[in-house]
Amino acid sequence: MKVIRLKPGKERSLLRRHPWVFDGAIARGNADAGETVRVDSHDGQFLAWGACSPESRIRVRAWSFDQATRIDAGFFRATLQRSLALRDRLGIASNGVRLVHGESDGLPGLIVDRYGDTLVAQFTACGVERWKDVIADALIELTGCPRLYERSDTSSRELDGLQPATGWLRGDGPTAFELQEHGWRLGLDIAQGHKTGYYLDQRDSRGVFREHVQRLGCREVLNCFSYTGGFTVAALAGGAGQVMSIDSSGPALAQAAANVALNGFDAGRATFLDADVNASLRRFLDEGRRFDAIVLDPPKLAPTAAHAERAARAYKDLNRLGLKLLNPGGVLFTFSCSGGIGVELFHKIVASAGIDAGVDGAILQRLGGAPDHPMTLAFPEGEYLKGLVVMRQA
């Protein structure tokens, strides 16, 4: 068993059960990609078992903080069983559920979503890559699903020195799927879509959006960064008169239009714009257009904490434009999925956007990821998705 010895004082985060060891914390020791290592403090005390990522700045991701744990097939089976049991207890009313959410479920680098009886997994770190077969077999056995599709084509995988990998890992079948949430039907494709096919983390916020559109009687709605139109369908279900969806992905917009039809809404109530959101918002402002409800759900603008400052300016600009485009009494649903932008910072960004826009607003509600995307106390980075519901003062 290879040992990685930390520098003095660098044991603190592992003692708090934070699962990452950065390269700068290591005094000596290395291992092969995905190999299990023992991490010791500078004076030789056991801290954790973990997987080595020789090419990543996150050099070790911890599997366990208990010296008695053996990292073997039984460990993965038991850990997966625990995540599945949590989802069972949550009783999520949808056929699309996140079963494994990486570090928050004790399996750094592993994402597993379930769409009906099809599993879709992302292996984004060397540790889970090395145990891929064991994990795949355990998932099939424990869920009873006959098929598992791999979508290991995320940029974070590159940081671990891994090549993209996609395709059926176990079984096979169609990649098109019809998701149901809040009583809506949403088509997606697990092979072609973003991430594993859909943004399951925004499920609850889409439900909240429908409620607000309905309660406030919003007529004109603007869904920015719409992807396949989840918030668009929510707005139509809430009785919106006219919903415009903007995204820079043509295939996503085509799926959004199909989803509007699938739910039986009149095509005349929805328009789709294949364009850059920022440029579109500026144009609407010039044209004097206004909306009763606006969604701003941009992609991750700050991939790491190091990008936070530049990303903060981008978020502020988007929110300033969004607030200016609201009718008095209208609502903005604004989100950030950047782990590097904390809840407090996001609040500050939106507040200063309001000041720049000359708009007074009331925060009606704070939003976060759906509960099948849990956050743990030990891993604050898990709280990546945050949102605010802001009403423009009349």
Closest separation between CB of residue 227 and ligand SAH, Å? 4
C-alpha to C-alpha distance for 225 and 247, rounded to whole angstroms: 5
- Helices (H) and strands (E) counted in the chain, each on its own, are 11, 20
User: How many whole angstroms separate alpha carbon 112 and alpha carbon 14?
Assistant: 25
Q: How far is the CB of 285 from ligand SAH (least distance, A)?
A: 16
Decide whether 276 or 360 has the Cβ nearer to ligand SAH: 276
For residue 47, give the nearest of 76, 71, 18, 72 by alpha carbon: 18
Q: Which is nearer to ligand SAH, 104 or 245 (CB)?
A: 245
* Residues with a known catalytic role: 337
Tokens of 204: 């609850």
DSSP 3-state of 130: helix
> Of 84 and 367, which has the nearer Cβ to ligand SAH?
367
**CB closer to ligand SAH, 197 vs 382:** 197
Shortest Å, Cβ 292 to ligand SAH: 18
The pair phi, psi for residue 288, each rounded to 5°, is 75, 20
Exposure of 324 in the CB half-sphere (CA atoms within 13 A): 22
CA distance 239 to 287: 25
CB of 256 to ligand SAH, least distance (A): 9
* Half-sphere CA count of 21, side-chain side, radius 13 A: 36
Q: Which residues contact 378 (CB under 8 A, 6 or more apart)?
A: 16, 17, 18, 19
Classify the C-alpha dihedral 324-329-330-331 as positive or negative: positive
Q: Shortest gap between Cβ of 198 and ligand SAH (angstroms)?
A: 6
Kindly tell me which of 76 and 272 has the beta carbon lying closer to ligand SAH: 272
Q: How far is the CB of 35 from ligand SAH (least distance, A)?
A: 35
Binding site for ligand SAH (CB under 6 A): 194, 199, 202, 225, 227, 230-231, 246-249, 252, 276-277, 297, 299
DSSP state of 303: S
Tokens of 382: 């898990």
Q: Judged by CB, which is closer to ligand SAH: 246, or 331?
A: 246
CA atoms within 13 A on the CB side of 286: 6
Query: How many other C-beta atoms can be found within 10 angstroms of the C-beta atom of residue 243?
Result: 31
